[in-house]
Chains A and B, each alone.
Chain A
Amino acid sequence: MRSQKLLYVIPVLLCATILFAGGFANSEPDGAAESSSEELSSSSEENFDKMMAVLMHKRCVNCHPNDNIPKQGEDSHPHYFGMARGEGNLGYQATTCNTCHQSENNDYSGVPGAPEWSLAPESMKWEGLTRTEIAESMLDPKRNGGRTHHEVMEHLTEHELVLWAWEPGIDAAGNPRELPPVPVDEYIEAVKAWFEEGAVIPAE
């Protein structure tokens, strides 16, 4: 990815040099370039804030544990019945995630469900990480399943298991599960914009 970025950066620098040499820089009010760069940065940070507010929510982190034990509920307690990652992130041999979780929420039992219901792979452990650390992990092909930025963006904005967070159904007591703090459309827009702006992770 770094070498790809360089391919873009070199022509941009060349153009900037030529424009500056030709005196075009003087036709812009002083400080315009700086202010535009600040606006971009501020917009990128805002998008990052929105995205991470969602990704750090329990609807996401409950299935990105750091101890191989899925978490449940609004208090993120360890999954009942001793369930754990098992092989292939799907639980144990005969008692798998799909013993109880199907491809849709079940409002009769309050058991949540979505396509490909499973724990996130062990390399994607987010529980206990800061938002910067989660973002770094998410962009690191060694930890994100070898995904490119574009593939990560698609996963975050299109995968049914991710989008389940906004349709989490009801719990065993019949109470609606808490939604992430940003509406889904706003979240998708923010994620796409953040990636389009270069996926810059702001300093903590």
Chain B
Amino acid sequence: MKISFTINGQAQSIEIEDGNTPLLWVVRDMLDLKGTKFGCGKAACGACTLHVDGEAIRSCSYAVKFAEGKNVTTIEGLGTRENPHPVQQAWVEHVVPQCGYCQPGFMMATAALLEKNPNPTDEDIDNNIINVCRCATYVRMRKAIHRAAELTQSANQTS
């Protein structure tokens, strides 16, 4: 079957036998976007988090057929090296990653949170950012999330 969607601003069509194939596999293995990670494959750890029409979803548990006609954003499309997304900027400032494997998922989850809630409290962070980091970088991530909120707000004020 043919499935068409937009990914990181680019129109994309794929031919795939099984429309139930996880979007994660398509993103990584067919479109060669390796930033989104396979962690547990059970929608439990969040390493595969990306955005579909602006909503954070666990792409290991999202059949690619549901992406038809939608806008998909991966970590590669969140920002650029020259113009990083406030979440990426904050992550760099706070040197958040240790091994780094789970971090794209955390950053995508955080970007989705800030879209809905530009100034999240610690409780909002606890409720919404429920991905798993085995290096336990949670303390640095919390600081980075608050910093990303500041950066987003100051960017909005200047624009």
Tell me the nearest residue of chain B to A110, going by C-beta: B42
Cα(A172)–Cα(B112), bound, Å: 26
B62: min CB distance to chain A, Å: 6
Contact A100 B58 (CB under 8 A): yes
Q: What are the residues of chain B within 8 A of A96 when measuring CB–CB?
A: 55
Cα(A103)–Cα(B127), bound, Å: 23
Within 8 A of A (CB), among B60-86: 60-63, 66
Q: Is A99 an interface residue (CB 8 A)?
A: yes
Q: What are the residues of chain A within 8 A of B66 when measuring CB–CB?
A: 102-103
Say what secondary structure dominates the interface of chain A.
loop
Contact B117 A93 (CB under 8 A): yes
Tell me the nearest residue of chain B to A93, going by C-beta: B116
Q: Is A8 an interface residue (CB 8 A)?
A: no
Cα(A104)–Cα(B61), bound, Å: 10
B72: min CB distance to chain A, Å: 14
Q: What are the residues of chain A within 8 A of B41 when measuring CB–CB?
A: 108-109
B55: min CB distance to chain A, Å: 7
Q: Is A89 an interface residue (CB 8 A)?
A: no
Q: What are the residues of chain B within 8 A of A93 when measuring CB–CB?
A: 113, 116-117, 124, 127-128
Q: A106-B61, A108-B41 are in contact. Are A82 and B130 (CB under 8 A)?
A: yes
Q: What are the residues of chain A within 8 A of B57 when measuring CB–CB?
A: 98-100
Q: Could you say which of A81, A102, A106, A108 contacts B44, with CB atoms under 8 Å apart?
A: A81
Question: Which of the listed residues A106, A107, A109 has the most CB atoms from chain B within 10 Å of its own CB?
Answer: A109
Q: What are 13 A-B contacts with C-beta separation under 8 Å?
A: A81-B44, A82-B126, A82-B127, A92-B127, A93-B124, A94-B112, A98-B57, A99-B58, A102-B63, A104-B63, A106-B22, A106-B43, A111-B61
